[in-house]
Structure 1
Amino acid sequence: MDYIAHIRENDRKVQTVTEHLLGVQVLAEGYGEKLGVSHIAGLAGMLHDMGKYTEEFRNYILQAVYHPEAPPKRGSVDHSTAGGKLLFEQYHSLPKDLSNKQDHMNKMILAEVVGNAIISHHSYLQDFINHDI
């Protein structure tokens, strides 16, 4: 089964999630290159829509396109946080071997920054530090 990222309105051509993520990765790497962070930007581009790899999102987008008289509520399927959650789960724990603790801490911080950009790509950046908000 192909997971769907977008369906073009005028001719209903499907862009798969894989095509979309690889295309965004290339664009993001190009933008990030100017700042010396091409791989970091590319990682964010590659993971930003990981949540579209679900049957729930596939049904959501098909319903929206093929049944415009009864579309699903816009934003009712969370597709934008999965990539950020993946980074958090992969890098937000201390390793058993603490011989290279600083390197791991740097990766944790980077994962949090990139993850925040990913989970916030349809809204404002989240504030995970200020507890008053």
Structure 2
Amino acid sequence: LSADAPFVSFNCADYAQNTQLLFGHIFGIKKGAYTGAAQDSPGLIAKADGGILFLDEIHRLPPEGQEMLFTFIDKGIYRPLGESAQVHEASVQIIGATTESSESFLSTFNRRIPMAITLPNLASRSLDERYEIISLF
């Protein structure tokens, strides 16, 4: 990645109750996709092109969104909400964070993710580690 590569962060839990809005934020919205969509709106994938998209609380992404994200991960292509005639391409590294066990959700992600990092919670860390973390903050 270049030094000025974009880093875009998004919390999937913010829109978990409105899946279409969640998809629209991630993949973009085509003008006329729904009432009130008066103009094209680029999604986070377009904004993160050439950089990193950090999806926090990724376990809140519903199955339909997971499949759309899998298509992007596998092929590098996506369609904004309401787009049917054209596919878009982007080069984005995706980082997903969750508080859930990866075995309990998104099992298909495990085949596509080259690395998983598990961070121990604060209670399981030594006093020295806790003090060091507090000092950093």
Identify which of structures 1 and 2 has the higher relative contact order when contacts are C-alpha pairs closer than 8 Å and 6+ apart. 2
TM-score (norm 2): 0.23
Give the structure with the larger strand fraction. 2
TM-score (norm 1): 0.24
